[in-house]
Homo-oligomer: A and B are copies of this chain.
Amino acid sequence: MYWEKEIETMDREQLTQLQSKRLQATVLQAAKTSYYKKLFDKLHIQPEKISTLKDLQNIPPTTKEDLRSGFPYGFLATPLEQVVRLHSSSGTTGVPTVIYHTAADIDSWSNLVARSLYGVGVRKNDIFQNMMSYGLFTGGLGMHYGAEKIGTLVIPIAAGNSKRQIWFLKNFQTTVTHIIPSYALLLSNLIKSEGLDSSQDLNLKIMLIGAEPHSEETRQRIEELYQSKAFNSYGLSEMNGPGVAFECAYQNGLHVWEDAYILEIVNPKTLEPCPAGELGEMILTTLSRQATPILRYRTKDLAYWIDEPCPCGRTHYRISRIQGRTDDMFIYHGVNIFPIQIDKVLMNNPEVGSNYLIILERKDLRDTMKVEIEIKPELFIGDLPKLERLRERIQAEIRSETLVTPEIILVEPGTLPTTEGKAVRVVDKRQL
């Protein structure tokens, strides 16, 4: 059940001591980088004096823009020849953020992923089809190395080519997959259209879903479609990638691997710590990284602390699923809305199919919000009054969840745009 029982179930006092020891080492390591050296000098911070969370909070957070401004080597703490790998953000335009890894960094990252996978039941006799993109993106290689550490049979199929994905799922009776949740929904349609039944013809037992925020309702939908467990995986390339926080078998929030990271959850405006249950921005500090130590990284991801011991016995604190990002929240008629709120409502309605799109527009200086929703094929040819009742019900549920009333448009399955990567759920045309 545990990959590393001692660390996973370490009592809190010991864990805090371990964190403190590693934090000291990390801050000293960070002082070797030109970025942090300059910052410490400027603020008269003595790195050797930082050993507690409280000390740490004297250091201003590091942002993505800081990482960019340090390109290429401003955050590198080791000689370049000790670096064996770099990963970088997908790099829309401009300078990507780059994270360097020594061999020891790769090993400890892989170990965190192995711990996460082992915790949800992945074993060496499993067959693991890794449907994430391999390359600079960390989802593919990160999970690959972790699964390899366990000794699982890894099928490094990477992203895309749905027909081939299905062929492998069926012919190897794949038991474990790593998949983007919105893609899992779409893929189930394709599986059906190949004449297969995902719960009968496939053998999935464990699905690792991550790389985009999704609701509990989406998870349940995926579990039902595949008759498989689906576990929420959290990570970001600045903090290695997958393996930062992971659900255990109880699926009641994600354990943050606190021996490797210090997590703070703060009010994104005031940076004041949030009490358990209060949504805030996650700020992460690496504790076991040599090449690119990062102190107090502002992830822009929003979650809240769960203040209850977990029946699994792990002592590492849990957080809620990611509720959104500070930059994917949109404001409509003065109300803050996260796409995941809409996701939750829609996925709770069994009539709703696998795809939907939120469209924001500005007409005559007035904002409008439309939600286009694919419904299940069998319903589309149903009676119109029934569809109208469905439309009204969804509208009412969204209003009750978000306090706003979007226009609801029910569309035929397969008509909304799809992608084999992260889904685009919101199109905001108001700024164009």
Residues of B within 8 A of A155 (CB): 86, 136
Stretch at the interface among A111-119, A146-154, A269-277, A405-413: A146-154
Q: Quote the shortest CB–CB distance from A52 to chain B (angstroms).
A: 34
Within 8 A of B (CB), among A353-373: none
Which of B80, B152, B156, B172 is within 8 Å of A153, CB to CB? B80
Bound-complex Cα distance A154 to B72 (A) = 15
Bound-complex Cα distance A130 to B82 (A) = 18
A148 B85 Cβ-Cβ under 8 A: yes
A131-162: CB near B (< 8 Å → 1, else 0) gives: 00011100011000000100111111110000
| A135-B134, A135-B157, A141-B156 as given contacts; A171 in contact with B83, CB under 8 Å | no
Within 8 A of B (CB), among A75-99: 80-87, 91
Q: Quote the shortest CB–CB distance from A133 to chain B (angstroms).
A: 8
- The winner among A71, A125, A135 for most chain B CB atoms within 10 A is A135
Which of B72, B86, B135, B153 is within 8 Å of A83, CB to CB? B153
| A134-B156, A158-B135 as given contacts; A103 in contact with B151, CB under 8 Å | yes
User: Mostly helix, strand, loop or mixed at chain A's interface?
Assistant: mixed
Residues of B within 8 A of A71 (CB): 171
Bound-complex Cα distance A86 to B83 (A) = 28
Whether a CB of chain B sits under 8 angstroms from the CB of A164 is: yes
Within 8 A of B (CB), among A160-177: 164, 171-172
| A134-B135, A134-B140, A164-B91 as given contacts; A153 in contact with B85, CB under 8 Å | yes
Whether a CB of chain B sits under 8 angstroms from the CB of A229 is: no
Bound-complex Cα distance A134 to B171 (A) = 22
Chain B residue at smallest Cβ distance from A127 = B80
Bound-complex Cα distance A81 to B175 (A) = 13
Whether a CB of chain B sits under 8 angstroms from the CB of A124 is: yes
Residues of B within 8 A of A141 (CB): 134, 156
Bound-complex Cα distance A156 to B156 (A) = 14
Q: Quote the shortest CB–CB distance from A86 to chain B (angstroms).
A: 6
B154 A85 Cβ-Cβ under 8 A: yes
Bound-complex Cα distance A84 to B152 (A) = 5
B171 A156 Cβ-Cβ under 8 A: no
Residues of B within 8 A of A83 (CB): 153
Within 8 A of B (CB), among A2-31: none
Bound-complex Cα distance A158 to B160 (A) = 15
Chain B residue at smallest Cβ distance from A71 = B171
| A91-B164, A164-B91, A171-B72 as given contacts; A84 in contact with B135, CB under 8 Å | no
A157 B136 Cβ-Cβ under 8 A: yes
Bound-complex Cα distance A153 to B73 (A) = 13
Within 8 A of B (CB), among A51-82: 71-72, 80-82
Bound-complex Cα distance A85 to B145 (A) = 11
| A72-B172, A134-B134, A172-B72 as given contacts; A154 in contact with B91, CB under 8 Å | no
Residues of B within 8 A of A84 (CB): 148, 151-154
Residues of B within 8 A of A106 (CB): 148
Q: Quote the shortest CB–CB distance from A106 to chain B (angstroms).
A: 8
Q: Quote the shortest CB–CB distance from A373 to chain B (angstroms).
A: 34
Bound-complex Cα distance A164 to B136 (A) = 11
Bound-complex Cα distance A157 to B98 (A) = 12
Residues of B within 8 A of A148 (CB): 84-85, 103, 106
Q: Quote the shortest CB–CB distance from A23 to chain B (angstroms).
A: 27
Bound-complex Cα distance A103 to B147 (A) = 12
Q: Quote the shortest CB–CB distance from A80 to chain B (angstroms).
A: 7
Bound-complex Cα distance A303 to B253 (A) = 59
**Nearest 7 pairs of A and B residues by beta carbon:** A135-B158, A134-B134, A81-B125, A83-B153, A85-B154, A81-B124, A135-B156
What are 19 inter-chain pairs, A to B, with CB distance below 8 A?
A81-B151, A82-B151, A83-B153, A84-B148, A84-B151, A84-B152, A84-B153, A84-B154, A85-B153, A85-B154, A85-B156, A86-B153, A87-B156, A100-B153, A103-B151, A134-B135, A134-B140, A135-B156, A135-B158
